[in-house]
Structure 1
Amino acid sequence: MKISLICGGPSLERGISLNSARSVLDHLSSERIEIVPFYLDAKKNAYRISARELYSNTPSDFDFKLERAGKPLNDRQFARELKETDIVFPAMHGPYGEDGGIQSFLETRGIPFVGSGSRACKAAFDKFDANERIRKEGFFTLPSALLKIYGTDHREIVQTFFDEREITRAVVKPATGGSSIGVFSVSTPEAALRAARTLFGKRMDTRVVIEPFAEGAEFTCIVLQNRFGIPVALPPTEMEMDYSEHQIFDFRKKYLPTRHVAYHCPPRFDDSAIERIQAQAEQLFSLFDMRDFARFDGWILQNGNIWFCDFNTISGMEQNSFFFQQASRVGMTHHDVLRYIVANACKRHGIDLPATDRKRSGNRKAVSVLFGGPTSERQVSLMSGTNVWLKLRGSDRYEPHPYLLDIDGSVWKLPYASAFPRKKTRKISSIRSALRWTSLSAVHPSYSTLCTAARERTERCRRSSRNTARFSTAPVKPPRGSA
């Protein structure tokens, strides 16, 4: 079987796309499945590349090489090459990847692909429009204002928005941005106008959204579509950080090492809050008619309301992403969850997915992979070590076991679900608390019931018709110690 893998694209999230594509290549490629990578540059020119070339460090490396040695494919050639494979896996984020662009290209040419269709992507992509849609469907939303690049009434709109709602802190962001790129925290109408002018001036978007700053606890939740076509939410992840002095969960905190964010999966919320987050995420998945998988970002506000503020039809799939982190909490490896969504997409298109060939002999040689340590490079070691461990897991000769060297010299043998902490945790020793939770079986009260609850929700959905009318959004209690 051959799977086309599309990455890159014109958005500022191109680097994240490369990381996602590498994960797909690493964990789906096998003797029976060949991954055929394609790279789209900033002008949406398509290039067929080798698997080896996919490991170029950055989009700039690709652009440098392809500008000198590559030959772009025109649309007809690109479509022909894609049709020579069995199915396409788009791994692009942002414009053209999640706005319905690449999906429309594939649909009009009859090319099967993994993920949501063009209409669902387009409907969920624009933050202002999506917020208005879910508000009309009965979900709780925060008020927002929209500025258009050629509008002449920006000052009046912003001043009125601040005055009528007595806003003391607001967020200014591109309507179609991602990865928190170009997001500003402001406290005055003048600062909001300056932020909007900056976004317009850099051509980051033609539409800018202004919202009150959300007070509460931030979370994200992955939803998978099961073999019956029913959405099932995974255990959400809570982001714990200090939001004072205009700090936000921005691109740097999401993707670069920092000591200012801690992650909790399952979250520290009470059971009813977790269940309501999962239920509403599943409802939103159905409302937008999404397919296969998606990620929903949101807040539990201090007044108890749940607000979903961002919808990602192609979740980031870097090695330690929320996607893999949450899947591991219900017993799925990287390979398992990727194969699962591809299998469902293949079933939808009537394509036979080869049986897995990952059977292991009983005489593999044990290999201990040690990483971490007390130095300032321990985060680099963590990423390198888990990467080595994952690569060796695909071997027929070796049986790797991950071990963490803690900052105090202790060595911990890691279960799968604890081997992928987000690299931005405040301290690498935060893994210790997760391990204590694992080794002492002091399981979070929600975790032991998550799989059962997911199965029960699936069965209930099978017995009842899909409901995309108004949904219940009764408040829940906010977590203790929320920001």
Structure 2
Amino acid sequence: MAGKTSVAVVFGGMSSEHPISCLTAANVVAAVDADRFDVVGIGITRDGVWTSWSPEQILALRAAEGLPEVTTEGHPTVGLQRFDDACHIVAAEAGQDPVRIDVVFPLLHGPFGEDGTIQGLFEMNGVRYVGCGVAASANCMDKHLTKVVLDEAGIPVGPYVVVRPHEWDDDRAGCLERIETLSYPLFVKPSRGGSSVGISKVRRPEDLVDAVDEARRYDPKVVVEEGIVGREVECSVLDGHDGATPRASLPGEIIVHDPDGFYDFDAKYLTGDSLATVQVPAELDEATRDRVQQVAIDAFRALGCEGLARIDTFVLPDGTVVVNEPNTMPGFTKSSGFPLMWQASGMSYPQIVSELLDLALERPLGLR
């Protein structure tokens, strides 16, 4: 691999978004510039076993029946180890040479991958990686902490109530009383999750307890948000080089075809365009587009993001832009908003992948 940069693509993971991570990895590996980069794969099973995958095995995930998954069958167990002033992939079985890696592309969505946990492991092993650091990853993964940081920075967020584990266990009536200060419909969400897994749209008070219990299946901490009447507009952000201002793409808009529905897991990944459509670029006047882009950049900076993020917003009828949530490792499937928005802005899919790796490689190690 002399002369090329060694890239470890990490995918799968222990969250409910495991199969989406597998699809993302296959798309990214297909787009890596083979003249500049050599790919080695690390697939993490649902129960946390790290396994070795070749680029060809990752690409084959696109042809899997149903949703793909990382398995241990035919894939040796591996881990990371730092020595000789570099990070290496080391096989658990004796007799296999370690593989030095220059940069990691963690394509993990949700808890134990997008929440700062694996980012801390990379930091301790002294290896550069694509995406946000430990604190930004953790804050952006937690919908409650995201809102706290954005509110402190003066960036609008919608009305919400947090339900912590001990509060629901010790004073359910008090939690429900606080929630009833919000206007219906409500969205009940796991605080630390993504891809709309575990989210319920609640229109009646009598459905609230079941919705909270459903969210708690995925995270004991729950956020209840007041439904916002506005357009769902997303904007992708890429970091600037060498400290320059981050860059915002043309925004995209989520068009939900069912007036009583929302952009849930099925609409994102399983039903094509029948439930919802991602319209890129969004049909916005120039002033509104500029506001969405500026809010996305402001949120990116306030949250301490690095590398990339997708900032999801609502555009209210009066033109106000309210942040819904950030996504620090958005999907890279063929229908995912992040690459679609940058493609509409003039970057090809392979260029996006190379840009993210270049941003990671130029970033200094240690505290930043």
TM-score where L is the length of structure 1: 0.67
Q: CA deviation at 1:291?
A: 1.1
Give the Å deviation of 1:47. 0.8
Alignment partner, residue 48 of structure 2 = 44
Higher-helix-fraction structure: 1
Query: Does 1:329 find its partner at 2:336?
Result: no
Equivalent in 145, 154, 165 of residue 129 of structure 1: 145
Q: Give the secondary structure class of the aligned counterpart of 1:331.
A: coil
For 1:162-177, list aligned pairs within 5 A: 162=180, 164-165=181-182, 167-177=183-193
Query: What is the distance in 2 between the residues matched to 1:281 and 1:347?
Result: 23
Alignment of 1:410-449 (within 5 A): none
1:112 Cα offset (Å): 1.3
For the pair shown, the structure with the greater C-alpha radius of gyration is: 1
Q: Which of 156, 160, 166 pairs up with 2:174?
A: 156
Deviation at 1:77, TM superposition (A): 8.8
- Report whether the alignment pairs 1:89 with 2:97: no
Structure 2: how far apart are the matches of 1:39 and 1:105?
16
Moved more, 319-328 or 308-317: 319-328
Distance 1:284 1:235 in 2: 16
Give 1:60 shift.
5.9
Contact preservation (8 Å) 2:16, 2:110 = yes
Partner of 2:227: 213
Which is worse superposed, 27-36 or 328-337? 27-36
- Which secondary structure does the structure 2 equivalent of 1:42 belong to? coil
Distance 1:149-1:190 versus aligned 2 partners, 3 A rule: farther
Cα distance in 1, alignment partners of residues 258 and 277 from structure 2: 13
SS at match of 2:211: helix
Tell me which residue corresponds to 2:263. Answer: 249
Are 1:9 and 2:10 an aligned pair? no
Once the 2 structures are TM-superposed, how far is the Cα of residue 226 of structure 1 from its aligned partner?
A: 2.4
**Alignment pair present for 1:73 and 2:89:** no
Please report how far the alpha carbon of residue 349 of structure 1 lies from its aligned counterpart in structure 2 after TM superposition: 4.3
Does the CA contact (< 8 Å) of 2:149 and 2:303 recur in 1? no
Contact 2:80 2:89 in 1 (8 A): no
Please say which of residues 222-231 and 300-309 is displaced more in the overlay: 300-309
Contact 1:8 1:59 in 2 (8 A): no
CA distance in 2, matches of 1:136, 1:226: 24
Could you list the runs of 5+ residues in structure 2 that have no partner in the other structure?
91-98
**Is it true that 1:311 corresponds to 2:319 in the alignment?**
no
Find the aligned partners of 1:343 and 1:60 in 2 and give their Cα distance: 29
Is the CA contact 2:186–2:225 (under 8 Å) kept in the aligned structure 1? yes
On the 8 A contact 2:155/2:299 being kept in 1, the answer is: no
SS at match of 2:8: strand
The code of the aligned residue for 2:277 comes to: A
Instruction: Return the structure number with greater strand share.
Output: 2
Instruction: Give the corresponding residue for 2:236.
Output: 222
Partner letter of residue 225 of structure 2? Answer: E
- Does the Cα contact within 8 Å between 1:237 and 1:265 map onto a contact in 2? yes
Residues 150 and 303 of structure 2 are in contact (CA less than 8 Å); yes or no, is this contact kept in structure 1?
no
Amino acid at match of 1:52: E
Q: Provide closer, same or farther for how the CA distance between residues 239 and 86 of structure 1 changes in structure 2, counting only shifts above 3 A.
A: same
Give the match's secondary structure for 1:80.
Answer: strand
CA distance in structure 2 between the aligned counterparts of 1:28 and 1:44, rounded to whole angstroms: 26
Q: How does 1:237-386 map to 2 (within 5 A)?
A: 237-242=252-257, 244-245=259-260, 247-256=261-270, 257-349=272-364
Distance 1:240 1:60 in 2: 27
1:138-196 deviation per Cα after TM superposition (whole angstroms, max 9, x unaligned): 1112121111234322232223332x34x231111100110111110112333111111
Is the Cα contact below 8 Å between 1:172 and 1:186 reproduced in 2?
Answer: yes
Contact kept, 8 Å, 2:23 with 2:68, in 1: the verdict is no
Question: Distance between the aligned counterparts of 1:11 and 1:344, measured in 2?
Answer: 26
User: Which SS does the other structure have where 2:235 is aligned?
Assistant: strand
Mean Cα displacement is larger for which, 146-155 or 97-106? 146-155
Give the aligned partner of residue 188 of structure 1. Answer: 204
* 1:416-436 C-alpha deviation (Å, 9 max, x unpaired): xxxxxxxxxxxxxxxxxxxxx
Matched letter for residue 37 of structure 1:
G
Q: Secondary structure at the match of 1:199?
A: helix
Contact (CA 8 Å) 2:188, 2:222: kept in 1 or not?
A: yes
Distance 1:113 1:168 in 2: 41
Separation of aligned partners in 2, 1:60 and 1:340: 27
**Greater Cα shift, 340-349 or 289-298:** 340-349
4+ residue segments displaced more than 6 Å: none
Percent identity of paired positions between Structure 1 and Structure 2: 26
Indicate the residue corresponding to 2:95 in structure 1.
none
Q: Which residue of 2 aligns with 1:62?
A: 70
TM-score by length of 2: 0.87
Match of 2:22 in 1: 18
Question: AA paired with 2:311?
Answer: F
Distance 2:266 2:55 in 1: 28
Give distance in 2, aligned partners of 1:239 and 1:168. 21
Deviation at 1:76, TM superposition (A): 4.1
Stretches of structure 1 that go unaligned for 5 or more consecutive residues are 351-483
Q: Distance in 2 between matches of 1:88 and 1:304?
A: 39
Contact 2:257 2:274 (C-alpha < 8 Å) held by counterparts: no
Deviation at 1:244, TM superposition (A): 2.8
Partner Cα distance (2:54, 2:256) in 1: 40
Amino acid at match of 1:198: E
